């Protein structure tokens, strides 16, 4: 175990990647560490030595991986918490062995983050030279022939987004100050992520959109699938945070996932009762953090078993984002659905007591 709070995927799963590289006899695209087939196995697991990282439709992953082997870039699109960032990190780790080349898109992202900047001390002392230039992650990925990740692409100002167009279509980055250019080496590609919900912050220009293949990451199709995702991640997180081990608490996981799914979809699981949806997204990612906090509570202050009282506060916090309207939605859900449900009386009481 390392001191690092969150090791990069290629370090955390170095062994699995090595096992795959060794047995992989399928053709590898130029610059790739693994064949597309082995990358897909790394992502989805093989039911044996390779653990699943992303849980979802195989086809989605295959299309994403195949895209990276073409000259088109990959855009992962989806509602919050559908593992866009997570999948892009693991794809970069498996394809180029390095998931650290990253541009975080924000309203303040400057063009230097996509092209290059200057070390001004050297620039002033020596004039423009290759040594005075500070490459962006995109430029480094081009020279290394690797994958660069662009997070939250649509949050970047449009002119910064557009700086990617030449890179993606010509695979080159001109440096007019030096009268030079950087040409991308084989293996270079871009994985961008963007959020469905924030669409419209900065629309993706159509010129840029045409250079991406879009893959939409779905929300988990069934409750079973979501429970599987949540329990795996809660267990992994608990281990990496070195939380004292406590029994899986499958019952509590099931209840949290059920509540989230019902409130999200606006109808109870049996399809009988309509419920109102709160303003928050109630994503899988939020369910994971509610349960991880619950595990910490149970481990440090409870009797070592994850109980309803350990998750009640977290659920309420996730559901009630708007103190007025969401509070009404939550109350109504508690009284009409949770209260009547067989075997849920401890859960009802814990949620009521949580406020």
Structure tokens at 264: 């999200």
Q: Partners of 74 in the beta sheet?
A: 191, 213
Contact (Cβ atoms closer than 8 angstroms) between residue 68 and residue 95 = yes
User: Cα–Cα distance between 67 and 84 in angstroms, integer?
Assistant: 15
Pick the piece of the chain touching ligand ATP (CB under 6 A) from 37-45, 262-270, 282-290, 299-307: 282-290
Q: Among ligand ATP, Mg ion, none, what does residue 255 contact (CB within 5–8 Å per kind)?
A: none
Report the phi/psi class of residue 174: left, alpha or beta, with left for phi > 0 and alpha for psi in -120 to 50: beta
Which string of x and - marks every residue 191-220 that binds ligand ATP (by CB under 6 A)?
Answer: --x-x------------------------x
Question: At closest approach, how far in Å is the CB of 84 from Mg ion?
Answer: 5
Among 19, 62, 85, 302, binds ligand ATP (CB under 6 A): 85
Nearer to ligand ATP, 220 or 249 (CB): 220
Contact (Cβ atoms closer than 8 angstroms) between residue 56 and residue 215 = no
Contact set for Mg ion, span 66-95 (CB under 5 A): 84-85
Question: At closest approach, how far in Å is the CB of 259 from ligand ATP?
Answer: 17
Question: At closest approach, how far in Å is the CB of 306 from ligand ATP?
Answer: 19
Element (H, E) at 151: strand 147-151
Q: CB nearest Mg ion: which residue?
A: 85
Give yes or no for residue 213 binding Mg ion (CB under 5 A).
no
Question: At closest approach, how far in Å is the CB of 257 from ligand ATP?
Answer: 12
Contact (Cβ atoms closer than 8 angstroms) between residue 116 and residue 133 = yes
Closest among 215, 218, 240 to 296, alpha carbons compared = 240
Give yes or no for residue 284 binding ligand ATP (CB under 6 A).
yes
Maximum Cα–Cα distance for the chain, whole Å?
Answer: 76
Beta-sheet pairing, 212-216 with 73-78:
parallel
Among 29, 78, 135, 238, binds ligand ATP (CB under 6 A): 78
Give yes or no for residue 40 binding ligand ATP (CB under 6 A).
no
- In eight-state DSSP terms, residue 8 is -
- In eight-state DSSP terms, residue 179 is T
**Interaction site with Mg ion (CB under 5 A):** 84-85
**Interaction site with ligand ATP (CB under 6 A):** 54-56, 78, 80-86, 193, 195, 220, 229, 233, 284-285, 288
């Amino acid at each position: 175990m390392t001191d690092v709070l969150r090791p990069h995927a290629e370090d955390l799963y170095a062994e699995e990647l090595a096992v795959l590289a060794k047995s992989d006899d399928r053709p590898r695209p130029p610059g790739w560490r693994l064949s597309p087939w082995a990358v897909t196995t790394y992502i989805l697991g093989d039911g044996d030595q390779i653990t699943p990282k992303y849980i979802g439709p195989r086809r989605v992953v295959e299309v994403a991986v195949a895209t990276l082997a073409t000259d088109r870039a990959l855009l992962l699109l989806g509602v919050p918490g559908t593992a866009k960032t997570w999948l892009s990190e693991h794809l970069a780790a498996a394809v180029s062995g390095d998931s650290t080349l990253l541009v975080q898109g924000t309203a303040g992202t400057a063009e230097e983050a996509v092209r290059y900047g200057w070390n001004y001390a050297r620039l002033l002392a020596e004039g423009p030279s290759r040594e005075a230039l500070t490459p962006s992650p995109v430029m480094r990925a081009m020279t290394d022939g690797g994958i660069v990740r662009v997070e939250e692409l649509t949050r970047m100002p449009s002119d910064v987004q557009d700086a990617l167009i030449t890179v993606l279509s010509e695979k080159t980055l001109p440096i007019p100050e030096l009268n030079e250019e950087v040409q991308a080496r084989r293996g270079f590609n871009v994985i961008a992520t963007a959020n469905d919900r924030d669409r419209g912050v900065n629309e993706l220009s159509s010129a840029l959109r045409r250079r991406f293949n879009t893959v939409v990451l779905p929300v988990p199709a069934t409750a079973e699938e979501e429970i599987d995702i949540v329990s795996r991640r809660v267990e992994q997180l608990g281990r990496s945070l070195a939380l004292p081990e406590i029994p899986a608490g499958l019952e509590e996981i099931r209840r949290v996932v059920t509540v989230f799914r019902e409130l999200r979809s606006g109808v109870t699981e049996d399809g009988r009762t309509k419920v109102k949806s709160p303003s928050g997204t109630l994503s899988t990612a939020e369910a994971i953090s509610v349960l991880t906090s619950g595990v910490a509570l149970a481990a440090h202050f409870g009797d070592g078993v994850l109980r309803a009282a350990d998750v009640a506060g977290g659920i309420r916090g996730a559901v009630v984002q708007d103190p007025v309207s969401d509070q009404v939605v939550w109350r109504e859900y508690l009284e009409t659905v949770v209260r009547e449900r067989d075997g849920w009386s401890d859960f009802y009481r814990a949620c009521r007591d949580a406020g």
